[in-house]
């Protein structure tokens, strides 16, 4: 099982960025935990972070022939990006959306996600654990549908 993990804008600053909201773990810490979890689950991960919408779209498009599923924290693009949503629809790979913070508890503009309707599901509010729960959910989902490409 090969999966794409995508981190959107400003997530490269985790650990230093609003630690009261996003916690003290760095993106490297999160990625290290995801890699060992993936090893236990017998899955391969390609992990990528970008601050640029088009670059994230490029990566999603490229995943078509490389991966079977996508775990994504689209950051602020969650609330703005039709392009990222369309890319997920285009590749039609099972996608799980994750957020460190509970976006529904925050400013009104964060309550809406363009991504959620094209995702298998959304996990938010558990800090770095959102990623662990998201990866687990994605792998469970994919193994439940072994006939899907
Ligand atoms: C975030 C929530 C978004 O609203 C915000 O723009 C982010 C991080 C989260 O993980 O909680 O950059 O996706």
Tens of pLDDT, residues 16-33: 999 999 999 999 999 999
Could you give the count of Cα atoms lying within 13 Å of 91 in the half-sphere of its Cβ? 24
Q: Where does residue 147 rank: exposed (0-12), middle (13-18), buried (19+ CB within 10 A)?
A: exposed
pLDDT tens digit sequence for 92-144: 999 999 999 999 999 999 999 999 999 999 999 999 999 999 999 999 999 99
Q: Which atom of ligand 1 is nearest to the CA of 98?
A: 10
For residue 149, pLDDT over 60 is answered with no
How high is the pLDDT of residue 148?
A: 52
- Domain edges within the chain: 2-144
For residue 146, pLDDT over 70 is answered with no
pLDDT tens digit sequence for 26-70: 999 999 999 999 999 999 999 999 999 999 999 999 999 999 999
Q: Whose CA is nearest to atom 1 of ligand 1?
A: 75
Tokens of 6: 């995508």
Q: Is 100 assigned to a binding site? A: yes
pTM score of the predicted model: 0.95
Q: Measured in whole angstroms, how far is the alpha carbon of residue 67 from the centre of its chain?
A: 14
Fold type of domain 2-144: Rossmann fold (3.40.50)
Distance, CA 149 to ligand 1 centroid (Å)?
Answer: 30
Q: Where does residue 145 rank: exposed (0-12), middle (13-18), buried (19+ CB within 10 A)?
A: exposed
């Amino acid at each position: 099982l090969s999966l794409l993990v995508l981190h959107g804008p400003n997530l490269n600053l985790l650990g230093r960025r609003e630690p009261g909201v996003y916690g003290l773990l760095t993106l490297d810490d999160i990625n290290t935990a995801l890699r060992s979890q993936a090893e236990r689950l017998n899955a391969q991960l390609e992990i990528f972070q970008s601050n640029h919408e088009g670059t994230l779209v490029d990566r999603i498009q490229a995943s078509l022939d490389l991966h079977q599923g996508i775990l994504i924290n689209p950051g602020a693009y969650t609330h703005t990006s039709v392009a990222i949503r369309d890319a997920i629809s285009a590749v039609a790979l099972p996608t799980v959306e994750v957020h460190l913070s509970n976006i529904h508890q925050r400013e009104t503009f964060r309550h809406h996600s363009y991504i959620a309707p094209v995702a298998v599901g959304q996990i938010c509010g558990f800090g770095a654990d959102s990623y662990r729960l998201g990866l687990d959910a994605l792998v469970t989902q994919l193994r439940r549908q072994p006939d899907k490409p």
